[in-house]
Chain A
Amino acid sequence: MRYGAQRASRAPSVTPAMTMVEKFRPILLRDVVGNEETISRLQVFAEQGNVPNLIIAGPPGTGKTTSILCLSRALLGASYKDAVLELNASNDRGIDVVRNKIKMFAQKKVSLPAGRHKVIILDEADSMTDGAQQALRRTMEIYSKTTRFALACNSSDKIIEPIQSRCAVLRYSKLSDAQLLERLQEVCMKESVSYTEDGMEAVIFTSQGDMRQALNNLQSTCQGFGHVNSENVFKVCDEPHPMLVKDMLQHCINSDIDAAYKIMSHLWSLGYAPQDIVGIIFRVAKTHDMPEFLKLEFIKEIGFTHMKIAEGVDSLLQMSGLLARLCHKTVSPGTSGSKN
C-alpha cells in the first residue's frame, strides 16, 4: 500500500522530464487496465504467493511488462531489489548469460517469507535465441523451489515448446476502446489537459488498442497544441482522418460520386500523400460495415489502385478513378445517367 500512497502524491507534481507512459505506469495490479480475468488471477497469486512460471503473450501496449512488475512488487515488497532479476532485450541474453548470470541468480539465497520466491523476469523473451532458451529449460525446473520465471513476449510461438510446457501461458488481448478511454480521461484529469470528445476518439483510433501508443499520442498532442481535439490529433499523427474516409466509402456504397469526390479533393488539398490516403481507405474498408461480397469487390479495387499508385501513377485522377469504380460496383443498371 506504500506504493499506492507514493503514486498518489507523485501524480499531480509536475515532472516534465517524464513521459506520460512512465509517469502513469500502474504500480498495483488492480490498476492495470484490461484483461480483467487474467489480472484478477494474478492478484490472487500476489496475495497467496506460490506463482507458477508464467508466460504472458500479447500485442504491444497491453500491460504485459507492467503486470509482471506489479506482481513481483506485490509479492516481494521490500526485498524486491534483491530477489528480482530483470533482463530485457537490451541486455545480453546469450546462452552464456543464461548459464552464468541466470543460473547464479537462481542459486542465490535470499531469505523470503514462506510461499514467496525469487523472480526472474525475462522481458521480450521472443527475442532470445533458441540456444539460450534451451539452456533455460532445466534451470527452470531444478530451482523451482526458490525461483520462479516470468516471461513476456509478443508471440508465444517464438518460445520453444519445452519452455511453454513449463509455464502457465497467459494471453493478453488488445484493449477495448472503452478501457482506453477511461484511462485516458483519468490521465487528462490528473494532468489537467483540456480535451474534446472527438479528440479522445481520434487518439483511440490512432492507437489501435495500444495503451502506450495512446498515451504517447495524447502527450505529443497536448504538448504541441495544448488542446486535444480530433484535428490536432490527426495533425500530430499525420493520418488522413478516418472518419472522412469512412464517410467517403459510405457515399461510394450509395453510389453518390459527387459527395465522395468532394471528400477526396478535400483530402488531396490537405496535402496527404496518395500512398497514405489509399492505405487508410484500405484499412477502413476492411472494417467498414457492408455486405461481404461488396467488401471484397471494394477491397479488390482499392488494391489495384494501391498498386498503380505504387508504380508511380499517383495523380488525383487516379484517386477519382478509384471512386468512380467503387461507385460503379453498386450502381444498378437502371439508374444510369440519373446522377449526371
Chain B
Amino acid sequence: MATDQASSAKKGAYRSYLSREGPRALGSKEIPQGAENCLEGLTFVITGVLESMERSESQSLIERYGGKVTGSLSKRTSYVVVGRDAGESKMAKANQLGTKQLDEDGLLDLIRKLPGKTSKYEIEAAKQSQSKPSTAKFKSSPSLAKISQSKMSSAKPAAKKATDEGSSQSLMWVDKYKPQTLKQIIGQTGDKSNARKLMNWLQNWHRNISSGKKPAFNRFSDDGSGFKAALLSGPPGVGKTTTATLVCKEAGFSFVELNASDTRSKRKLKDEVSESLNNHTLVDFFGGQVTPSEGQRHCLVMDEVDGMAGNEDRGGVAELIQLIKNSKIPVICMCNDRNHQKIRSLANHCFDLRFQRPRVEQIKAAMMSVAFKEGLKISPPALQEVIVAANQDVRQIMHNLSMWTSTDRNLSYDQAKSDANKAKKDAHLGPFDVCRQVFAGGERMSVIDKTDLFFQDYSFGPLFVQENYPSCTPFAARGDMRMQMKLLSQAADSIAQGDLVDRQIRSTQNWGLLPTQAIFSTVLPGEAMKGSIGQMIQFPQWLGKNSTRNKNDRTLQELRTHMGLKNPADKHEINMDYLPLLRKALTQPLATRGAEGIGEIIQVMDEYSLTREDFDSLLEVATWPNSKNCMANVDSKVKAAFTRTYNKSVHLTPYATGSSVAKKKRGAGGGEELEEEEGGEVEEEEEEEEDITKDSMIKLKKKPAAKAAKATGKGKAGKSGSKGKLAKKK
C-alpha cells in the first residue's frame, strides 16, 4: 500500500511538473554585475522555476561568472538553487548531502558579493608558455603537464620560437598552431586513442600482412591487424588528417596524398595510383636504414573519400577497394560520414577508426594557451561559449577567435556570446526540432519567427505538427481538462484549414498562399497548444499510410484491368462489392475441402482472367485491418499444390503479362552479375544500364516464343528469376 501511495504521489508530482507554469515575472529583477570569474570552481544545480528568469538565462548567468551548472546533485555540488515547484527527489538528496540551498535572490547576492579571481586556465596557460611553448596543445592532464614542464624549462625552445615568429606571421592560426607531434593533437593523447591505434596498426602492417593474418571481425578487441587499409571517420575539424599525417611521420612512413581536389576516377586510380603502390622511394635505395624484411615504408593517404562524386570520379570507390585488396603498402582513407551509401562498401575492407569530437575541457585548455601566446584576454566562460558555438570543431574555433579578436584583443563574455550566437553553424533545423520549437518554443517567439519555422521545410513540417499536437500539454489549460479539449479542437480546426490551403496551393500552383498556410498549419496550432511535449516527437504516420494507400490503389487498378472484360465496374466498386465475395470464393474451397477445391478455384480465376499474382494481391487488398487472415487455416501443402496445378495448365489471358515478369528478372539478374564481375559492391547505376539493354534485347528477339510459354514459365520465373533468364538466353 505504501509503495502504491508513493508511486501515485510521484505520478501526481510528474503531472504537476508537466503542467507547471513558466516564470511569472520575467525580467523583474535586476541582474547584478559581479566580479570576473567570481563563481569559478563552484558547481550549481537548478531546480524548479525561477520567477524572474528562464532556465537558460540563469544557466548562462552562472556560466558567465565561471560557475558550472550540472543536471543532477552530487557531493561536489556547491549550491542548489531552489525555485517554485522544486523537484522533490532533488530536494531530498540535497538535504541528505547537506548541500547549501539558495533561492533566486541568494544567487544574485552571491554574484554581487564574491570576489573575482584569476582563472586557473589563465594561470595555467601563462605558466606553460613560459616554460615550453611547443607543447601548447598537450594539456589533457594539466597537473601532469605542469610537472613535466617545470622540469624542462630551458632557453632553447624559446630561442626557436623567436626564429619561427618571422615566418609564421603570414600563417593562419590554424597552420601556425598546427600540432607538430602526435602528443599535441587534442583528444588523441590517451593509450586507447585512435592515433595510438593507427600507429600500432601502421607499424605492424608489414609483419601482419606477410604472415597472412586475416581480419578479425570483433570491433572491440580489435587492433586492425589483417586489414590492409584504415578508415578514419568523424566530423570535420577534429584532426583526422592531422592524425594521419603525423602518424605517418612518426612511424617513419613517407606518404602520397590524394584528396578531393584530385580527379579520382576508376581509370585514373588504376593507371596512376596502382603503379605508385608498387613503387620504391629513392630513400629505399639510398637511405639504407630500412631492413629488407620490412619492405618499403611508404603509404597512401586517400583523404575525403566521400568527396569522390559525380561523373568525374565514376567507379572510383570500387576501384579503390580493388586497389586495397592488391595493395603492397598500407592505405589510409578518411571520410566524414562512414554510414554514407558510397562509403559503406569501402568500410568493410578497412580497419574502422571513428573520431569523436573532443570534450570542451580538452579544447578549452589548448585554446587558452593559444590565446595567451597571441596576447588575447579571454575569460574561460567566454571561451566556452565560443567552443560550444562552433560545435567543438577545433579548426572553426581558431578561425573564429582570430576573426573576433582582430579589433579588440580583449574578448568579453557578452561579446563572445553574441558573436558565438551569430556564428552558430547554420544547421538546417530538422523537422523534429522544428516541431519541438513550434510547441515548446520560448515565450519570445514572434509570429514571424514561427512562420520561419514553417519555412524550414514547408512540406514536412505541417505533417509533424499534425502528428504531435495531441501529445502536447498546453500551459494555457492549467490542468483544466475542459480547457485542454477546447484548445485541442482549436488546434485541430486550424490544422484542417491549413490542409485546405495546402490543397489550394498544390492544385492551382498558387504559391503566394504559403504564408497563409504557415499561419494555419504551424503558427496557430503552436499557439494554442503551447506547452510541454510529454513524449518523443513522433514521425508522421501519414506518410506510411499514404504509401500503403497508393500501393493498394495500384493493385486495385491492375485487378480492374485484368477483370475488365467480364466486369465493367470501376475500382472502387470492385473493392467494395466484388472483392469480399471473390475473396471468399477463392479461399473457402481450399479451407474446407483442401486439395480438392483447387480445380474450382482455378476455374473462378480463369473466369475473371486473374493470374496467380493477382490471387495474392487480391487477398492482400481485401483484408481489412483486424479481419482474420483467411488463408491461415489452409494447409501449406494445399497452397503448394495449388501453385503447381495453376502453373501446369495454360491460362489464356486477354492481356499481355510480360512487363512485370521482365522487371522482376532484371532486379535479380543485375544483382548476380554485379557480384560475378566485380566481386563486391560496385556502383549500381552503371551496371544496371547495361543490363537493361541486354534484357530488352532478349525480350525483343524471343517475344513470340516467350509469349506462348509465358503462362507456364511465369511461376518459375517469379521465384527464381535468374534461372529463368538463363534458360531464355539459350
Q: Could you say which residues of chain A place their CB within 8 Å of the CB of B427?
A: 157
Q: Could you say which residues of chain A place their CB within 8 Å of the CB of B510?
A: 310
Please pick, from A53, A98, A279, A304, the residue contacting B172 in the complex, using a CB distance under 8 A: A53
B332: Cβ under 8 A from any A Cβ: no
Please pick, from B175, B423, B504, the residue contacting A307 in the complex, using a CB distance under 8 A: B504
CB–CB A161/B425 < 8 A = yes
B-side interface size class: 35 or more
CB–CB A275/B402 < 8 A = no
Q: Could you say which residues of chain B place their CB within 8 Å of the CB of A182?
A: none
B519: Cβ under 8 A from any A Cβ: yes
B248: Cβ under 8 A from any A Cβ: no
CB–CB A49/B170 < 8 A = yes
Please pick, from A145, A171, A282, A306, the residue contacting B171 in the complex, using a CB distance under 8 A: A145
Chain B nearest CB, measured from A216 CB (Å): 22
A135: Cβ under 8 A from any B Cβ: yes
**Per-position contact with B for A264-304: 1 when CB-CB < 8 Å, else 0?**
00000000000100010010001100001001100110111
Indicate whether A98 sits within 8 Å of B402 (C-beta atoms), given known contacts A115-B170, A130-B309, A169-B423: no
Give the segment of A9-17, A37-45, A80-88 that binds chain B: A37-45
Q: Could you say which residues of chain B place their CB within 8 Å of the CB of A166?
A: 236, 395-396, 399
CB–CB A303/B512 < 8 A = no
Q: How distant is the Cα of A129 from the Cα of B400 in the complex, in angstroms?
A: 25
A22: Cβ under 8 A from any B Cβ: no
Please pick, from A134, A148, A303, the residue contacting B519 in the complex, using a CB distance under 8 A: A303
CB–CB A99/B263 < 8 A = yes
Please pick, from A41, A137, A141, A287, the residue contacting B403 in the complex, using a CB distance under 8 A: A41
CB–CB A300/B524 < 8 A = yes
B261: Cβ under 8 A from any A Cβ: yes
CB–CB B516/A41 < 8 A = no
B9: Cβ under 8 A from any A Cβ: no
B104: Cβ under 8 A from any A Cβ: no
Chain A nearest CB, measured from B305 CB (Å): 10
CB–CB B519/A165 < 8 A = no
CB–CB A135/B519 < 8 A = no
Indicate whether A164 sits within 8 Å of B261 (C-beta atoms), given known contacts A131-B310, A137-B304, A144-B175: no
Q: Could you say which residues of chain B place their CB within 8 Å of the CB of A311?
A: 504
Query: Using a CB-CB cutoff of 8 Å, which residues 166-189 of chain A contact chain B?
Result: 166-171
Query: Using a CB-CB cutoff of 8 Å, which residues 303-333 of chain A contact chain B?
Result: 303-304, 306-307, 310-311
Chain B nearest CB, measured from A159 CB (Å): 8
B307: Cβ under 8 A from any A Cβ: yes
Q: Could you say which residues of chain A place their CB within 8 Å of the CB of B261?
A: 98-99, 103, 135-139, 142
Q: How distant is the Cα of A287 from the Cα of B446 in the complex, in angstroms?
A: 10
Q: How distant is the Cα of A135 from the Cα of B309 in the complex, in angstroms?
A: 9
**Per-position contact with A for B372-404: 1 when CB-CB < 8 Å, else 0?**
000000000000000000000101100110111
Q: How distant is the Cα of A48 from the Cα of B409 in the complex, in angstroms?
A: 14
A50: Cβ under 8 A from any B Cβ: yes
B262: Cβ under 8 A from any A Cβ: yes
**Per-position contact with A for B515-527: 1 when CB-CB < 8 Å, else 0?**
1100110011001
Q: Could you say which residues of chain B place their CB within 8 Å of the CB of A134?
A: 260, 304, 306-307, 309
Indicate whether A52 sits within 8 Å of B494 (C-beta atoms), given known contacts A134-B304, A156-B426: no
Indicate whether A137 sits within 8 Å of B309 (C-beta atoms), given known contacts A115-B170, A296-B447, A299-B447: no
Query: Using a CB-CB cutoff of 8 Å, which residues 122-157 of chain A contact chain B?
Result: 129-131, 134-139, 141-142, 144-145, 148, 155-157
CB–CB B516/A282 < 8 A = yes
Q: Could you say which residues of chain A place their CB within 8 Å of the CB of B402?
A: 52, 168
Q: Could you say which residues of chain B place their CB within 8 Å of the CB of A78?
A: none
**Per-position contact with B for A201-225: 1 when CB-CB < 8 Å, else 0?**
0000000000000000000000000
Q: Could you say which residues of chain A place their CB within 8 Å of the CB of B304?
A: 134, 137-138, 162
Number of A-B residue pairs with CB-CB distance less than 8 Å in the complex they form: 165
Q: How distant is the Cα of A116 from the Cα of B303 in the complex, in angstroms?
A: 28
A27: Cβ under 8 A from any B Cβ: no
CB–CB A57/B170 < 8 A = no
CB–CB B235/A279 < 8 A = no
Indicate whether A145 sits within 8 Å of B399 (C-beta atoms), given known contacts A41-B404, A50-B170: no
CB–CB A310/B512 < 8 A = yes
Indicate whether A137 sits within 8 Å of B520 (C-beta atoms), given known contacts A117-B170, A164-B396: no
**Per-position contact with A for B228-256: 1 when CB-CB < 8 Å, else 0?**
00000001110001000000000000000
Among A49, A131, A145, the one with the most B-chain Cβ atoms within 10 Å of its Cβ is A131
CB–CB B519/A164 < 8 A = no
Q: Could you say which residues of chain B place their CB within 8 Å of the CB of A169?
A: 396, 400, 423, 425-426
Q: How distant is the Cα of A53 from the Cα of B241 in the complex, in angstroms?
A: 19
Chain A nearest CB, measured from B69 CB (Å): 27
Q: Could you say which residues of chain A place their CB within 8 Å of the CB of B396?
A: 164-169
CB–CB A168/B309 < 8 A = no
**Per-position contact with A for B316-341: 1 when CB-CB < 8 Å, else 0?**
00000000000000000000100000
A28: Cβ under 8 A from any B Cβ: no
CB–CB A57/B426 < 8 A = yes
CB–CB B307/A300 < 8 A = no
A197: Cβ under 8 A from any B Cβ: no
Beyond the given A50-B171, A137-B307, A286-B451, could you list 8 further A-B residue pairs with CB under 8 A, ordered by the A residue number? A114-B169, A115-B169, A137-B261, A138-B259, A148-B172, A169-B396, A303-B520, A306-B512
28 residue pairs A–B, Cβ–Cβ below 8 Å: A50-B169, A57-B426, A95-B309, A95-B310, A96-B312, A99-B263, A114-B170, A116-B170, A131-B310, A134-B307, A137-B259, A137-B260, A138-B304, A142-B261, A144-B175, A148-B172, A161-B235, A162-B237, A162-B304, A164-B425, A165-B395, A169-B396, A286-B447, A286-B448, A300-B520, A303-B520, A306-B513, A310-B510
The 4 A-B residue pairs with the shortest CB-CB distance, nearest first, are A134-B307, A138-B259, A168-B403, A303-B516
Measuring CB to CB, which residues of chain A are less than 8 angstroms from any residue of chain B? Answer: 40-41, 44-45, 48-50, 52-53, 57, 95-96, 98-99, 103, 114-117, 129-131, 134-139, 141-142, 144-145, 148, 155-157, 161-162, 164-171, 275, 279, 282, 286-287, 292, 295-296, 299-300, 302-304, 306-307, 310-311
